[in-house]
Structure 1
């Protein structure tokens, strides 16, 4: 009887491991999704600034924000992640990547070697981008300079350093569907929703998270503790922006100035450097969408 129980336990363990291995296989975009495409470099440039690529990946201490040598630290409860070199250097950066590999990284969070990316890379938002926009972004980045700086290794302790279980995390928190326009809304609203939720990945910082690092869907955009552990990220639903006009939001995205005359600081500074490069129409679309967000109560900010 004992032998049978041991055998059953072994079989159950093997089946369980096989099931875990199967469900955590990194996903990829079918090659058939990449039909003939004429890159639009101007659109790729828009996606570059909307996506805030330079905010994390510009070489540390380098004033030229188009040199994407990486090195910027992102502190988290799971360890410190360092933005990698995504310049066009074929050895240190992503210059040797194929377009398909780039699309897989952006939309599926899957690396060229077939492993999962840590969600410190906001593929959880980028997955809303259209394949065409990602391909245009790839084409634009091909025009940027190569930087021969090695990427810094993440400082992430065991067991968080193991990537395969991230497939389970994706099952819980990663919906890899693309953006679906709301036909009941205006074209401007839909453009703003796309930019804010997709390339802009605003929810990644402006939403509270659970103990596993997943965004609390019921409190999206409701602010909370800074994911990096210092300061507080504001609520950008109508709970936090009820006294702001659409023009106020547009002006902030262009100048970094609030209605009260203060300038944004902390992590928003680099964000404004990017949004100020967008067209006036895109900033207006983002403002229209943000102003439409219903009020949501987020975590209570602790008293100073």
Structure 2
């Protein structure tokens, strides 16, 4: 190699390394926003606990779930997960050891997310402080405590689905649809479920009388009151501040969603959500 070759090679390697670092930083930055868009902090941070360290208690008609640690701790979190492990968990509901996740974890919605969004989210989670704390075991009623039944449950109630753009609709409508049906997983709480916990897809967003912690979750479709009386600006303002058009405030689980998720979204994304919710759409 000539005397000019080594400096040239070093410069190329330095430029490549710098580009990779910048790409990783950009990916993690996008992932930080996706964390808010997906509402991860609302479910994976218990009151008084460390951020994203899990342990949140969730009462449901099927028993009590405890959310897992998603910090990069290698023993109790996801520190040993590869990107492929992470994507498989969020799109197929399968853990790295091959076991099935309960649908209290909304992989049924996250399966609609783009693979790049999932990689960006993982890039950000790799950088959050690791916390070593294991979540308690779920306390579920029979037969829901039999994890072996989750395979057949998926066969009946779950089909991985990546959303395709609807060309007849605007870019904002398609973005809103992606958020509501994908990372925002609004359908998981605002849609009623059958006796086995599967979504009643023909009644998407029509409300859920047995929501998280026994809450009655209202419909968010333009044909049902009081949502039918809301305008686009009402939806955006409510998702930003929690205040409804009548001056009352959204509380309960939705209060946490606004605090940890929608209150931090861009106005363009909030307007996209509103455009989608106010426009007739197909079943899930």
TM-score band, normalised by the shorter chain? Answer: 0.7 to 0.9
Q: Name the structure 2 match of 1:242.
A: 228
Distance 1:59 1:92 in 2: 16
Distance 1:175 1:182 in 2: 20
Decide whether the 8 Å contact of 2:69 with 2:134 is kept in 1: yes
Distance 2:75 2:231 in 1: 48
Count of aligned pairs:
256
Distance 1:256 1:189 in 2: 22
**Offset of residue 92 of structure 1:** 1.2
Q: Say if 1:259 and 1:95 are closer, same or farther in 2 by CA, change over 3 A.
A: same
Distance 1:291 1:231 in 2: 24
Q: Name the structure 2 match of 1:107.
A: 91
Decide whether the 8 Å contact of 1:237 with 1:294 is kept in 2: no
Write the deviation string for residues 197-228 of structure 1: whole angstroms up to 9, x where unpaired. 10000011101111111111121100021323
Distance 2:28 2:275 in 1: 26
Decide whether the 8 Å contact of 2:189 with 2:212 is kept in 1: no
Q: Name the structure 1 match of 2:276.
A: 289
Q: Name the structure 2 match of 1:268.
A: 254
User: What residue ranges of structure 2 are gaps of 5+ in the alignment?
Assistant: 1-22
RMSD across aligned positions (CA) = 1.7
**Offset of residue 51 of structure 1:** 0.7
Distance 1:207 1:236 in 2: 9
**Offset of residue 295 of structure 1:** 12
Write the deviation string for residues 137-191 of structure 1: whole angstroms up to 9, x where unpaired. 0001111111111111111244322222211111111120211111100000000
Q: Name the structure 1 match of 2:216.
A: 232
Q: Does residue 46 of structure 1 match 2:45?
A: no
User: What residue ranges of structure 1 are gaps of 5+ in the alignment?
Assistant: 1-37, 297-304
Q: Name the structure 1 match of 2:8.
A: none
Decide whether the 8 Å contact of 1:72 with 1:83 is kept in 2: yes
Q: Name the structure 1 match of 2:4.
A: none
- For residues 34-113 of structure 1, the aligned pairs below 5 Å read 38-39=23-24, 40-62=27-49, 67-113=51-97
What SS class does the counterpart of residue 81 from structure 1 fall into? strand
What SS class does the counterpart of residue 264 from structure 2 fall into? coil
What SS class does the counterpart of residue 96 from structure 1 fall into? coil
Distance 2:257 2:277 in 1: 16
**Offset of residue 44 of structure 1:** 1.1
Q: Name the structure 1 match of 2:237.
A: 251
**Offset of residue 293 of structure 1:** 3.7
Decide whether the 8 Å contact of 1:60 with 1:70 is kept in 2: no
Q: Say if 1:173 and 1:216 are closer, same or farther in 2 by CA, change over 3 A.
A: same
Write the deviation string for residues 7-41 of structure 1: whole angstroms up to 9, x where unpaired. xxxxxxxxxxxxxxxxxxxxxxxxxxxxxxx5522
Q: Name the structure 2 match of 1:190.
A: 174
- For residues 128-167 of structure 1, the aligned pairs below 5 Å read 128-167=112-151
What SS class does the counterpart of residue 74 from structure 1 fall into? strand
**TM-score (norm. length: structure 2):** 0.86
